């Protein structure tokens, strides 16, 4: 089949007509999508101005993708960018540090904007050093501050989690109940829906399947396994300490710190997702995740690795430090932190394509609402 290409691409009016037809059929769904119940009602998201901004950003991104599919150099022409900005009343800017990532923004109020990210290299994942993958800009669309990312992700996870497991509606939270991982864990612990569970029961090597929390610190003793049923979340208001040769399978919210203790001869396993109020530290050989179930560590603050690690893992936080003298570790995944330090030893990070597991995000205690879409060779986050 011969395909003729016009180097100038489709004219903007033609593109707009096509996009308007496509988006028009889905316009009625936008109000539903963006008015879904959240833990805190955000009146601004129900406003006409907000819905208009969502529509404009979404349409602008689709026009840009259409232009790129016709002419890969579309975004190098400032006239094209200006046309999109003027027509949809949006601002189109390249990301400050990541190449081939564009931000499309429409301002709703002086303090609130709707933003979508468009990646022209989303067909492949890249490591921390090389740039960005779907998981990265999915995360960046939620938060402008790495310290806020864990609580923002968790706030997005909980409504769907409550619905999935028929958890009765909790008392309406105050804004302060949702401003940190710790406050969210404490909010859950004060409800009558979730039940307290003892440290003794969690050290019996049985699968924990239910709505449970630990009020205070939790220690999993040596050679024991904390196994939380698939899709479930255990809430811990204090610290979580995994002793030498202990193992963790499942999703946990930890209000304070999470520590794997041990030495160079001990080995632990962690296959799951954790939201941490403060720091993550590993002082034992640690095997993380599986190829179809990576481990996600959302630290509010730092991640410190003092022993050998391997497996499949993603880390976020304000800092990541690898300090293992004379040892080379390899993980598949990525590290997204403000500071990234290799003090001693070598850490190799191989990229993996997060799209392969995106459909399982809800089971892995990650937000899953179709926030990442792929069109041809280009991927983008839906406006929010």
Look at the alpha carbons of 72, 73, 76, 80 in this order and tell me if their dihedral is positive or negative: negative
What is d(CA 320, CA 299) in angstroms, rounded to the nearest whole number?
10
Bridge partner list, 228: 208
Band (82; pLDDT cuts 50, 70, 90)? very high
More confident residue, 210 or 25: 210
Measured CA to CA in angstroms, residue 326 lies from 104, 300, 310 at distances of: 45, 29, 15
Mean pLDDT rounded to a whole number for the chain: 80
Give the DSSP per-residue string, 34-79.
Answer: TTS--SS--GGGGSHHHHHHHHHHHHHHHHHHHHHHH-TTGGG-HH
Q: What is the mean pLDDT of residues 282-288?
A: 97
Identify which has the larger pLDDT, 191 or 299. 299
Least confident span in 65-69, 173-177, 380-384:
380-384
Q: Which 8-state DSSP code applies to residue 244?
A: T
Query: Would strands 267-276 and 285-288 be described as parallel, antiparallel, or unpaired?
Result: parallel
The predicted structure's pLDDT at residue 229: 95
Do 269 and 287 contact (CB within 8 A), yes or no? yes
Say how far residue 236 (Cα) sits from the centre of its chain: 21
- Rounded to whole angstroms, the Cα distance separating 80 from 42 reads 34
Q: Is the pLDDT of residue 208 over 60?
A: yes
Q: What is the pLDDT of residue 97?
A: 60
- pLDDT winner (highest mean) among 41-45, 94-98, 209-213, 357-361: 209-213
What pLDDT is recorded for position 312? 94
Q: State yes or no: pLDDT of 216 exceeds 50.
A: yes
Distance between CA atoms of residues 227 and 350, nearest Å? 28
**Phi, psi of 186, rounded to the nearest 5 degrees:** -70, -35
pLDDT band at 299 (very low <50, low <70, confident <90, very high): very high
Predicted confidence band of residue 367 (pLDDT cuts 50, 70, 90): confident
Running DSSP on this structure, what letter comes out for residue 126?
Answer: -
174 or 181: which leads in pLDDT:
181
The mean pLDDT value for 344-351 works out to: 92
With H, G, I as helix, E, B as strand and everything else as coil, classify residue 383: coil
Asked whether residue 374 carries a pLDDT value surpassing 60, the answer given is no
Q: 364 with 110: CB under 8 angstroms?
A: no
pLDDT tens for 9-19 read 445 444 444 44
- Residue pLDDT, tens place only, 94-135: 876 666 778 899 988 877 788 887 877 644 333 333 333 445
The pLDDT, as a whole number, for residue 347 is 95
pLDDT at residue number 33: 35
Q: SS3 for 335?
A: strand
pLDDT score of 278 more than 60: yes
What pLDDT does 357 receive?
Answer: 75
CB of 353 closer than 8 Å to CB of 124: yes
91 pLDDT above the threshold of 80: yes
Q: What pLDDT shows up at residue 370?
A: 53
Least trusted range by pLDDT, from 58-72, 73-87, 122-136, 330-344: 122-136
Structure-model confidence comparison of residues 376 and 314, the more confident one = 314
Q: pLDDT of 21-30, one tens digit each?
A: 444 443 333 3
- Please, how many CA atoms are within 13 Å of residue 181, restricted to the half-sphere of its CB? 32
Pick the range with the lowest mean pLDDT from 24-38, 197-211, 223-237, 298-312.
24-38
As a dihedral over the C-alpha atoms of residue 335, residue 324, residue 281, residue 247, rounded to 10 degrees, the angle is: 100
pLDDT at 66: 85
| 35, burial (CB in 10 Å: exposed 0-12, middle 13-18, buried 19+) | middle
The answer to which of 153-167, 218-232, 233-247 has the lowest mean pLDDT is 153-167
Distances (CA, A) of 132 to 101, 102, 104, 119, 370: 8, 12, 17, 9, 19
CA–CA gap between residue 259 and residue 303 (Å, rounded): 10
DSSP annotation of 359? G
At 292 the pLDDT is: 87
């Amino acid at each position: 089949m011969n395909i003729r290409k016009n180097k100038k691409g489709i004219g903007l009016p033609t593109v707009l007509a096509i996009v308007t037809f496509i988006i028009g059929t889905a316009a009625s769904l936008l109000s539903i999508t963006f008015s879904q119940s959240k833990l805190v009602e955000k009146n601004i998201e129900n406003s006409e101005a907000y819905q208009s901004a969502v529509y404009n950003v979404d349409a602008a991104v689709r026009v840009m993708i259409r232009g790129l599919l016709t002419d890969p150099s579309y975004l190098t022409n400032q006239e094209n960018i200006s046309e999109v900005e003027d027509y949809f009343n949006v601002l189109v800017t390249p990301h400050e540090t990541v190449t081939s990532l564009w931000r499309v923004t429409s301002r709703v109020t002086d303090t609130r904007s709707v933003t979508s990210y468009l990646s022209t290299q989303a067909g492949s994942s890249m490591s921390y050093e090389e740039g960005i993958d779907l998981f990265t800009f999915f995360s960046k669309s939620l938060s402008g501050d790495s310290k806020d990312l864990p609580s923002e992700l968790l706030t997005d996870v909980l409504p769907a989690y409550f619905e999935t497991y028929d958890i009765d509606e909790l008392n309406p939270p105050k804004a302060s109940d949702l401003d940190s991982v710790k406050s969210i864990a404490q909010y859950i612990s004060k409800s009558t829906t979730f039940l307290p569970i003892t440290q003794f029961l969690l050290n019996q090597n049985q699968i924990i399947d239910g709505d449970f929390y630990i009020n205070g610190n939790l220690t999993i003793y040596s050679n024991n396994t904390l196994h939380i049923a698939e899709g479930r979340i255990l809430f811990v208001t204090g610290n979580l300490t995994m002793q030498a040769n202990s193992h963790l399978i499942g999703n946990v919210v930890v209000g304070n710190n999470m520590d794997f203790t041990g030495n160079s001869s001990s080995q632990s396993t962690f296959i799951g997702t954790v939201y941490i109020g403060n720091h993550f530290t590993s002082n034992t050989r640690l095997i993380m995740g599986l190829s179809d179930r990576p481990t996600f560590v959302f630290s509010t603050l730092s991640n410190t690795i003092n022993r050998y690690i391997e497996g499949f893992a993603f880390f976020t936080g304000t800092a990541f430090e690898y300090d293992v003298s004379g040892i080379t570790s390899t993980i598949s995944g990525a590290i997204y932190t403000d500071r990234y330090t290799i003090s001693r030893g070598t850490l190799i990070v191989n990229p993996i394509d997060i799209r392969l597991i995106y459909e399982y995000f809800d089971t892995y205690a990650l937000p899953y609402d179709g926030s990442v879409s792929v069109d041809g060779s280009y991927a983008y986050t839906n406006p929010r």
